[in-house]
Amino acid sequence: MRPFSLRIFVPSGDPTGVLIATRDDGIGKATLFSRPLLGEVKGRKEWSFPGVYLLAGQSKLYIGEGDPVGKRLEEHATKKVFWNRALFFTAENRLNKAHIQHLESRLIKLAVKAETVALDNGNQPQPPALGEEEYAFAENVLADMLLTLPLLGYTCFEPAEPTLSEGDSSESDDDGATLPLLKGSRVYSELPLGLIFRCSYKEARAAIELVESGVEVKSGSTIVREPAPSFDVWRPGYAQLRRQLIASGVVAEKNGQLAFVQDQFFTSASAAASIVCGVSSNADIWNSDSNQSLGDLLRSAKRK
C-alpha cells in the first residue's frame, strides 16, 4: 500500500455539519451529512452529479446510485426512515451512469460478502457491461473508495473480525476482573516469534510483539483517548473490550495519555489495532522497523 492523505473540508465551520472528503491522489470526493442537513446539501453542486451513495442507520445500510445522485437522496428522505447519516461519492465530469451502476453493484456484493451489517437493499443488481478501459477506471474508483470509506466511519465492506462472545474463555487480572479473549487464527503460530511491529495513529503510539497464537501489545503503548463515533456501531465487540481494559486498569492514565500498564495478549492484530486506534483497523497498520507490514506477512503465511 502507498501512503496517501485525506483532506476534510468543513464548509460551515461546524465539525458536526456537512463534510467534504477528498484524497490527495484520488478521483472525486465524498460528501457526508446527517439526515437533518439534507436541505443544506441540496445547495451544493455535487448534488446534481452522478454518484453512488450509502444510507446508514444504527444497524442497517442501503447502497444505491443516482444520476443525479441528489434526486435519489431526496426520494429516500421521505420513503426510508431507518437512516440518520449518509455519504455520497461523485466525480465532476468523470463518472457516468454505467460507472455508478458498476460501483453500486460491486459495493453491494462486498457488503453481502463481509456480513457485518444488515442491508436494506432488496436485490443485488448485476454490473453493466463495460469496455476494458471503462472497467479498469471504475475499479480504480472503487479501490479509492474502499481505502477512504473506513477512515470516514464506513467499515461495512471489510470482513468481520473476531468479536466477544459469551462462550469465549477468559483470564483474570490482578483485581479479579475477567477479560474475555478473542478467538484467533492459527496463522499467527506459523510466524516467527518475537518480531516487533509499531503503529502511530493520532496521539496513539503502540508496539506489538508476535507471540504464540497471537500478538502482545507492549506495556507503555498509548491509545487514542476518544474512539470514532461509529466504533460502537460497526465494532461493538472491540468497543466493549476497550471499555473493559480501561475499567480493569490494564489501560490507565499515564503522563497525560491512556496507556497499557502491562503487556496484553490479543489473538488478532486487527483487534489490537482497533483497540489502540478506537476505529476499525487491520494488520496493515502495524509496521516493522524495516517498514514491513504485518498484514503483508500474514497474507504471505496464509498462501503457504
Each residue's pLDDT tens digit, 85-139: 999 999 988 999 999 999 999 999 998 887 778 899 988 899 999 999 999 999 9
Same structural domain, 136 and 188: no
Highest mean pLDDT among 50-54, 170-174, 252-256, 283-287: 50-54
Can you read off the three cell numbers belonging to residue 193?
516469534
460501483: which residue's cell? 103
User: In the chain, how many domains are there?
Assistant: 2
* Confidence tier at 173 by pLDDT (50, 70, 90): very low
Pairing assessment for the beta strands 60-66 and 118-119 based on DSSP bridges: parallel
Nearest C-alpha neighbor of 177 from the set 247, 108, 119, 76? 247
* Residue 100 is assigned to a structural domain of this protein: yes
* Residue 165 is assigned to a structural domain of this protein: no
Same structural domain, 148 and 11: yes
Q: Determine contact, residues 184/162, Cβ cutoff 8 Å.
A: yes
Of the residues 152, 180, 210, the one at which a domain ends: 152
* Residue 276 is assigned to a structural domain of this protein: yes
Same structural domain, 19 and 135: yes
* Residue 195 is assigned to a structural domain of this protein: yes
Same structural domain, 12 and 144: yes
List of long-range contacts for 230-234, beta carbons under 8 Å, 24+ apart: 230/153, 230/154, 230/155, 230/279, 231/274, 231/278, 231/279, 231/280, 233/58, 233/59, 234/116, 234/117, 234/153, 234/155, 234/156, 234/280
* Residue 162 is assigned to a structural domain of this protein: no
Same structural domain, 279 and 214: yes
Between CA 167 and CA 130 the distance in angstroms is: 48
Same structural domain, 66 and 180: no
Highest mean pLDDT among 25-29, 47-51, 115-119, 159-163: 47-51
* Confidence tier at 153 by pLDDT (50, 70, 90): confident
Same structural domain, 207 and 139: no
* Confidence tier at 169 by pLDDT (50, 70, 90): very low
Same structural domain, 202 and 268: yes
> What is the pTM (predicted TM-score) of this model?
0.56
Q: Give the residue numbers spanning the domain of 294.
A: 170-303
Same structural domain, 185 and 91: no
Of the residues 152, 184, 214, the one at which a domain ends: 152
Same structural domain, 146 and 191: no
* Residue 260 is assigned to a structural domain of this protein: yes
* Residue 163 is assigned to a structural domain of this protein: no
Of the residues 152, 183, 216, the one at which a domain ends: 152
Query: Of 85-99, 220-234, 242-256, which gets the smallest average pLDDT?
Result: 220-234
Q: Determine contact, residues 201/276, Cβ cutoff 8 Å.
A: yes
Between CA 165 and CA 96 the distance in angstroms is: 45
Same structural domain, 126 and 77: yes
Between CA 108 and CA 61 the distance in angstroms is: 10
Nearest C-alpha neighbor of 271 from the set 285, 258, 281? 281
* Confidence tier at 233 by pLDDT (50, 70, 90): low
Same structural domain, 178 and 148: no
